[in-house]
Structure 1
Amino acid sequence: MHAAAATALNATPVGTREAWGWRGRTLGRAVTTASREGWLRLVSAPADKAGGKLWEGPQEAERLMPPAVPRPSLRERRTWTEGGHGYLAELYDKITAATITTHEPILREAPDLDDAWWDDLSTALDAIATVPSDRVAVRQEYLDRAMPQYLGIPIDTKVPAWTTAHGDLHWANLTSPTLTVLDWEGWGIAPAGYDAALLHAYSLLVPDTTAQVRHQLTHILDTPAGRFAELVVITELLQTLDRGDNLDLEEPLRRRLSAITR
C-alpha cells in the first residue's frame, strides 16, 4: 500500500530505512519527486475507523499552526479504502535533522541540546498554546474517571486552565540539532502545560535531562497549572501500564507523583 501511495503521488521511495509507528499503524519512508526530496507517511486503519480527528490533524496543523512552530510542510494527501482498510497517504517536505530517539518516546540517554534548541522549543510551545481550536486532545470526562483511579488519591480533577497542545510531545517526535516538531495527528485542547509535562515524564530515566526540562520550561511547569498537567500525564502513563507500555517509567512516575502531592 505504501508503494501504491508513492505511485499515486508521483514519488519514488529511496533507501531502505522504514519508520514504523505505534504497533505498525503507520509506515514512513524517504522519497523523491520531480521537484524535491520528501517523506511519505502512510496511515492504515480498519475501514470503519478510518477518518476523524487523527486523520485530519496534520492537515489542520498545516492550515493553522504559526511559523514559530517548526514542523514539516504537508504538500499532498490522498485517502482511499481497499480490502476492508482505510488508508491515508501524506507527502511531506523532507526533514534532514534526526529524531532524538528513534524507536520509542522514552529518553534513555542525555541528548546534546544547546540553549538555542531549548529557546526554540519554548517559543514553539508558547505559540501552539495560543492557536484557537475546537479539536480536543484531553477530555475533562476522562480525567474525572481516570485520575482518582490511577493516582490512587482523592483529587480535584477540574482542569484549572485549558490551552492548545501538540498532544504527543515526546523525544521521538522532536529533532536535533535543529528543532522540528513531528506527528500532528492528535493536537488539540488540553490542560495548560500538558506538552511540557509529557516531555518531562518521558525524561524521567535521565535525571540530567529531567532537570534541564524543568529549568528550561520552568515558566510552564512551575505553576499550579503545570503541576496539575503533570498529574494528568502521570495518570495517562500509569494507565498505559495496563497494556504493557512504558513499564520502565512506573517507578519514577510514582516517585514524581509522591513529590507533587506531598
Structure 2
Amino acid sequence: MHATAATALNATPIGTREAWGWRGRTLGRAVATASGEGWLRLVSASADKAGGKLWEGPQEAERLMPLAVPRPRLRERHTWTEGDHGYLAELYDKITASTIATHEPILREAPDLDDAWWDSLSTALDAIATVPSDRVAVRQEYLDRAMPQYLGIPVNTTVPAWATAHGDLHWANLTSPTFTVLDWEGWGVAPAGYDAALLHSYSLLVPETSAEVRRRLGHILDTPSGRFAELVVITELLQSTTRGDNLELERPLRARLDRLLQPR
C-alpha cells in the first residue's frame, strides 16, 4: 500500500530505511519527487475508522499552526479505501535531523541539547497554546472517570485552564540538533501545560533530563495548571501500564504523584 501511495503522489521510495509507527499503524519512507526529496507517511485504519480527528490532524496543523512551531510541511495528501482498510498518504518535506528517541516515547539516555533547542521548545509550546481550535485532545468526561480510578484517591477533576496542545509531545516526536515537532494527528485542546507535563513524564528514567525539563519549562509546570496537567498525564500513563505499555515508568510516576500530592 505504501508503493500504491507513492504512485498516486508521483513519488519514488529511496533508501532502505523504514519508519514504523505504533503497532505498525503507520509506515514512513524517504521518497524522491519532482520538487526534491520528501517523506511519504502512510496511515492504515479499518475502513469504518478511516477519518475524523486523527485523519484530519496534520492537514489542520498545516493550515493553523504558526511558523513559530517548526514542523515538516505537508505538501500533498491522498486517501482511499481498499477492502476492509482505509489509507491516508501524506507527502511531507523531508526533515534531516534525527528524532531524539528512535523507537519509543520514553527517554533512556540524556540528549545533548543546547540553549537554542530549549528556547525553541519553549517558544513552540507557548505558540501552540494560543492557537484557537475546536479539536479536543483530552476530554473532561475522561478525567472525571479516569483520574480517581488510576490515581487511587479522590481528586478534584475540574480542569483549571484549557489550552491548545500538540497532544503527543514525547522524545520520538522531537528532533535534534535542529528542533522540529513531528506527528500532528492528535493535537487539540487539553489541560493547560499538558505538553510540558507529558514530556517531563517521559523523561523520568533520566533524572538529569527530567530536572532540565522542569528548569526550562518551569513557567508552565510550576503553576497550579501545570501541576494539574501532571496529574492528568500520570493518570493516562498509569492507565497505559494496565495494557502492558510504559511499565518501566510506573514506579517513577507513582513517586512523582506522591510529590505532587504533598501539601505545598
Q: Which residue of 1 aligns with 2:115?
A: 115
Runs (5+) with no aligned partner, structure 1: none
Q: Which residue of 1 aligns with 2:80?
A: 80
**Cα deviation per residue 1:191-226 (whole Å; 9 max; x = unaligned)?**
000000000000000000000000000000000000
Q: Which residue of 2 aligns with 1:100?
A: 100
Q: Which residue of 1 aligns with 2:171?
A: 171
Q: Which residue of 2 aligns with 1:236?
A: 236
**Cα deviation per residue 1:141-170 (whole Å; 9 max; x = unaligned)?**
000000000000110000000000000000
Q: Which residue of 2 aligns with 1:3?
A: 3
For 1:138, what is the secondary structure of its paired residue?
coil
Establish whether residue 257 from structure 1 lines up as the match of residue 257 from structure 2: yes
Q: Which residue of 2 aligns with 1:58?
A: 58
Establish whether residue 70 from structure 1 lines up as the match of residue 70 from structure 2: yes
Q: TM-score, normalised by structure 2?
A: 0.99
**Cα deviation per residue 1:109-156 (whole Å; 9 max; x = unaligned)?**
000000100000000000000000000000000000000000001100
1:244 Cα offset (Å) = 0.5
Q: Which residue of 2 aligns with 1:91?
A: 91
Q: Which residue of 2 aligns with 1:200?
A: 200
Alignment partners' CA distance in 2, 1:35 and 1:152: 54
1:83 Cα offset (Å) = 1.6
Question: Which residue type is aligned with residue 91 of structure 2?
Answer: L
Q: Which residue of 2 aligns with 1:39?
A: 39
Alignment partners' CA distance in 2, 1:40 and 1:133: 27
Question: Which residue type is aligned with residue 75 of structure 1?
Answer: R
Q: Which residue of 2 aligns with 1:23?
A: 23
Alignment partners' CA distance in 2, 1:235 and 1:193: 15
Question: Which residue type is aligned with residue 189 of structure 2?
Answer: I
Q: Which residue of 2 aligns with 1:215?
A: 215
Q: Which residue of 2 aligns with 1:144?
A: 144
Q: TM-score, normalised by structure 1?
A: 1.00
Runs (5+) with no aligned partner, structure 2: none
Question: Which residue type is aligned with residue 169 of structure 2?
Answer: L
Question: Which residue type is aligned with residue 109 of structure 1?
Answer: E
Alignment partners' CA distance in 2, 1:248 and 1:9: 41
For 2:7, what is the secondary structure of its paired residue?
helix
For 1:243, what is the secondary structure of its paired residue?
coil
CA RMSD of aligned residues (A): 0.4
Report percent identity of matched pairs. Answer: 86
1:243 Cα offset (Å) = 1.0
Q: Which residue of 2 aligns with 1:13?
A: 13
Q: Which residue of 2 aligns with 1:227?
A: 227
State the aligned residue count.
262
Question: Which residue type is aligned with residue 128 of structure 2?
Answer: I
Question: Which residue type is aligned with residue 166 of structure 2?
Answer: H
Question: Which residue type is aligned with residue 128 of structure 1?
Answer: I
Moved over 6 A (4+): none
